[in-house]
Amino acid sequence: MTSPVVELLQRLIKNQCVNDGSVGSGNESRSVATLLEYFGVEGELHEPEPGRQSLVYRMAGSDPEWPSLALVPHLDVVPVDPTGWSVDPFAAEIIDGFVYGRGAVDMLNVTASMATAVRPYLTGEKAPRGDLVFAAVADEEAGGRLGALPLVEERWDLVRADFLMTEVAYPALTVGDHRSVPVSIGEKGAYWSILKTHGAPGHGSAPYGTENALHKMIEALAGLVEAPQPADVTGEWVGFVENLGLDPGSVSRLTDVDQLDDEIDRIAAEDPALARYIHAATHLTISTNVLQAGTKTNMVADKARAEVDIRGLPGMDRHFVDSHLRKAMGAAADQVDIVPVMDGNATVSPVGNVLWEAIGDAVELLDGHRNLAPTLMTVATDARFWRAKGTVAYGVGLFDDRMGFSEMLSLFHGHDERVSVASVDRTTSLYETVLDRFFAGA
């Protein structure tokens, strides 16, 4: 009753390749074994740590002049809190037309669709005109150090490509009767930081005049939390908004940096998840998520540290981030050390090329229009490693209308993650058509 691609998705979910960030987690070798069985064709294994396998195929194109294309899905998923789920997160049950399970939208659905689309090329039923790479990788959810990053750094001969498809696949955006399919063309930069303050130990019973590291941290964070997060209307954002079919008033409010925050507040009243996305796509975002200080109730805190998730738009960099942090913390900034733990600028691919047109053709064939909305992802994906090498990288999928854009945003890493069977089939058709059109030279 279910299609082979849905059965493949169910098997990938049941493999429980949960990546908690530790080297011993993930166990992507289970899903590599599933894919090897599904393809029936040997591939190149990359295994920097036991069990942390990526599976790569590189098929030579018939035309050496034709551009190369890589499909790079990941095999790992993030951990679950089963108490928040209404079903077993790893049983891959189908209920009312939805496959439930961790990874159903991030991104085992697309992994299964890409594997299905690429299979006829692996078995020799179809021949690619340019080189075709399929790389199912480990460790995306922990930054790719045991997956995509070493492949790009050490095996560029194997994974190099002019064009690439990976995350994120979003459902269509619908405004009235105007549909547009988001195509992820870039992602924000990540500037995770640790803030540190220092004091002097003393007895908590007599705090007058003591130097308390936690008090310094509270002053600094108060400024940071209060300060408006800097907004910017980038070319990427304008390109996205203009493709949604919105009325001219909405377009101008969403693309005017002075009206933007009020418009986001207005949208938040109706659709908080959408407002959250719009805010993230137009601002330097700062989320203070970990705070540690002191050792004992009766000891003055001599150390405090805060971990801050900071994401920047194209055009922002570490210098921009640090100067905003210092300004926002005000006088307290002099007492704070900012320690960068992640420092990668935003990456963006241009539109209007053979892959963009192949996606447009596929969307036109399968969804009846060719409105592609170029979308900036707020999260980091493996695409950034290839973009840094000059590869054009996109993410795209095709869903049915049982789940909207903003509902799906809340399912990423969330409870009751699920995807409709029809959406898995549609995304598979999309990839099959994109490969056909890309190699046909549409």
Binding residues vs Zn ion (CB under 5 A)? 106-107, 167
- In terms of CB distance, is 107 or 430 closer to Zn ion? 107
- For residue 399, give the 3-state DSSP assignment: coil
3-state helix, strand, coil in the chain (%, to 5): 40, 20, 40
Angle at 138 between CA 132 and CA 139, to 5 degrees: 130
- In terms of CB distance, is 165 or 213 closer to Zn ion? 165
DSSP character string of 230-290 = PB---HHHHHHHHTTT--HHHHHHHT-TTTHHHHHHHHHHH-HHHHHHHHHHHB-EEEEEE
- In terms of CB distance, is 107 or 142 closer to Zn ion? 107
- In terms of CB distance, is 167 or 417 closer to Zn ion? 167
What is the nearest approach in angstroms of Zn ion to the Cβ of residue 74? Answer: 6
Q: Is the dihedral of CA 400, 263, 245, 373 positive or negative?
A: negative
- In terms of CB distance, is 302 or 382 closer to Zn ion? 382
Reported as type and span, the H/E element at residue 223 is helix 213-226
What is the nearest approach in angstroms of Zn ion to the Cβ of residue 151? Answer: 16
What is the nearest approach in angstroms of Zn ion to the Cβ of residue 75? Answer: 10
Residue 320 structure tokens? 């921009």
- In terms of CB distance, is 131 or 167 closer to Zn ion? 167
What is the nearest approach in angstroms of Zn ion to the Cβ of residue 380? Answer: 10
Cα–Cα dist 12/173, whole Å:
28
What is the nearest approach in angstroms of Zn ion to the Cβ of residue 401? Answer: 23
What is the nearest approach in angstroms of Zn ion to the Cβ of residue 48? Answer: 19
- In terms of CB distance, is 146 or 195 closer to Zn ion? 146
- In terms of CB distance, is 194 or 411 closer to Zn ion? 411
Q: List, in order, residues 6 or more apart from 292 with CB less than 8 Å away.
A: 304, 305, 306
* Residues 387, 393 contacting (CB under 8 angstroms): yes
DSSP character string of 313-375 = -TT--HHHHHHHHHHHHGGGGGG-EEEES--B--EE---SSHHHHHHHHHHHHHHS---EEEE
Cα–Cα dist 393/185, whole Å:
7
What is the nearest approach in angstroms of Zn ion to the Cβ of residue 137? Answer: 10
What is the nearest approach in angstroms of Zn ion to the Cβ of residue 77? Answer: 8
Q: List, in order, residues 6 or more apart from 337 with CB less than 8 Å away.
A: 195, 196, 197, 198
Cα–Cα dist 102/12, whole Å:
10
